[in-house]
Structure 1
Amino acid sequence: MSGVITHHVPDALLAAYAAGNLSHAFSVVVASHVSMCPQCRAGLEAHRAVGGVLLEDTETVAVSSGLKDDILSMLDAPFIPEPVYERSGVYPGPVMQALKGRAPRWKTLGMGVRQDILSKDKSGSVRLLHIQPGQAVPDHGHNGMELTLVLQGSFSDETGQFGVGDLEIADEDLEHTPIADDGGACICLAATDARLRFNAIVPRLLQPVFRI
């Protein structure tokens, strides 16, 4: 791979992230890509600037005295900021934030693939994947959207090759078999908003155990 990021966050996703309308799982991936990609970072700032102008032009609406008192009482409550984590090795700051500063706790899925689930709830999940060179994630489709960001190494599938910083976006129309390229383990950050749709019987049987 050339080291140049060629697969970026689509404009619609950047706009949703800037507006705070993305789930936590997708937000971690988008924030991580933006931290690695000057082009998308500039695009995000443009969306934020537009949002600021829109807020300035929006007609103000009076609020009730009760709501005002509730907000002021919240401001009076003690505020304890969360720690802010910087990049560590191949892991961008947003990933370290999700890890809460710890090292990944890898759990084996078999076939040269390991994972660390960073968060999982009804809106989706985000996890780190560690794939040995030449190994594949079993052939699968999607019941929703999946974002996969490469942090180390590279992988290839039916749609092309993805290197460090590249973001693959998969939806219900894509069935693929991602394979880690030669030259070192591939580490990815992956987020989904629905369970994957595996084609082989063994991955389907193990799916509830691995929470994929």
Structure 2
Amino acid sequence: MTCPSYHPPDEMLMAYGTGSLDEASSLLIATHLTLCRRCRIEVERIEAMGGGLLDSLAPESLSEGALARVMTRLDGPPARSRPPQTAAVAGMPAPLWPYIAGGVDALPWRRVGPGIQQVFVASGPIARARMLRVAPGVVIPQHGHAAGEMTMVLRGGFADAGQTFEIGDIEVAGPETIHRPASDPEEGCLCLAVTDGPLRLTGLLGRLLNPFLDL
């Protein structure tokens, strides 16, 4: 498989490698890493750097009886059972499997426009991850963003502002971005998108519809 051409920002890889990224963004980065050797190497470098910093710290002495308490807990019953193993979903990267159990077609898709469906798969206090399924040759209505958005291609592809995004590629959009992506004319597009704020359709009709759309 060809390595993706468009990648997440370096600060996102750093946050993922240090374990400080929110669930929705972590899901997107983990999914991208399964398809991108370049970014996997970078995250491994970040994790190794963090491990080196821990090794350089001076050891702390244990309080009296700490070892005995740890051994007692290890000998006791487990605090909780391990979660059941998630079944594989054909054609989808492994990080997505727990979020799309039963397969892509079994998800509770909701129509948000002609040829456009979405379903939210992970939500947090700020960031939300959704899957978007767009029919072939559909142009997304022109819109902007209240905050940031990262969109990764899972199947098919899309074009935007003279660039073509294919499987594994990530398009990064900010509050200043106004665009009209168009899905692949033959395959359409299945994407994983993470937003830090709502999308906002532009134009008179868009402004009228925005209060009624969960984008």
After TM superposition, the score normalised by the length of structure 2 is 0.84
Superposed CA deviations along residues 4-48 of structure 1, whole A, max 9, x for unmatched, are 410012322111101111111111100000011111111111111
Determine if the alignment matches structure 1 residue 115 to structure 2 residue 114.
no
Inter-partner Cα distance in structure 1 for 2:72 and 2:3? 49
Which is worse superposed, 44-53 or 196-205?
196-205
Structure 1 27/185 Cα, relative in aligned 2: closer, same or farther at 3 Å?
same
Structure 2: unaligned runs, 5 residues or longer: none
> Is the Cα–Cα contact under 8 Å of residues 3 and 163 in structure 1 kept in the other structure?
no
Match among 143, 146, 152 for residue 143 of structure 1: 146
Instruction: Find the partner of 1:181 among 179, 184, 187.
Output: 184
Distance 1:173 1:7 in 2: 19
Asked if structure 2 preserves the Cα contact closer than 8 Å seen for 1:135 and 1:179, the reply is yes
The aligned counterpart of 2:33 is 34
Say if 2:210 is the partner of 1:211.
Answer: no
What is the CA deviation profile of residues 132-184 of structure 1, one whole-angstrom value per residue up to 9, with x for unaligned ones?
A: 11112221111211110000111011151100110111111211111102111
Query: What is the distance in 2 between the residues matched to 1:71 and 1:190?
Result: 42
Alpha carbons of structure 1 residues 9 and 172: separation in structure 2 relative to 1, 3 Å: same
Change in Cα spacing, 1:4 to 1:18, as seen in structure 2 (3 Å) is closer
Identity rate, percent: 32
CA distance in 1, matches of 2:61, 2:96: 40
1:146-157 equivalences under 5 Å are 146-157=149-160
Would you say how many aligned residue pairs link Structure 1 and Structure 2? 211
Over alpha carbons, which structure has the higher Rg? 2
Letter in 2 for 1:151: L
> In structure 2, what residue type is equivalent to 1:136?
V
Distance 2:99 2:15 in 1: 20
Take 2:115 and 2:123, find their aligned partners in 1: how far apart are those partners? 23
CA distance in 1, matches of 2:58, 2:174: 38
CA contact (8 A) 2:156 2:189 kept: yes
Q: Does 1:90 align with 2:91?
A: yes
Q: Give, as a single letter, the amino acid of the residue that structure 2 aligns with 1:36.
A: L
1:36 aligned counterpart, secondary structure: coil
1 CA distance for matches of 2:32 and 2:58? 35
> 1:86, 1:93 within 8 Å by CA — same for their partners in 2?
no
Structure 1 segments, 4+ long, off by >4 Å, are 60-65, 67-77, 201-210
CA contact (8 A) 2:3 2:37 kept: no
Q: Which runs of 5+ in 1 are unaligned?
A: none
Mapped contact 1:153–1:186 kept (Cα < 8 A): yes
Q: Deviations over 1:22-76 (max 9, x none)?
A: 11111110000001111111111111111110111123456878x9999899876
CA contact (8 A) 2:116 2:135 kept: yes
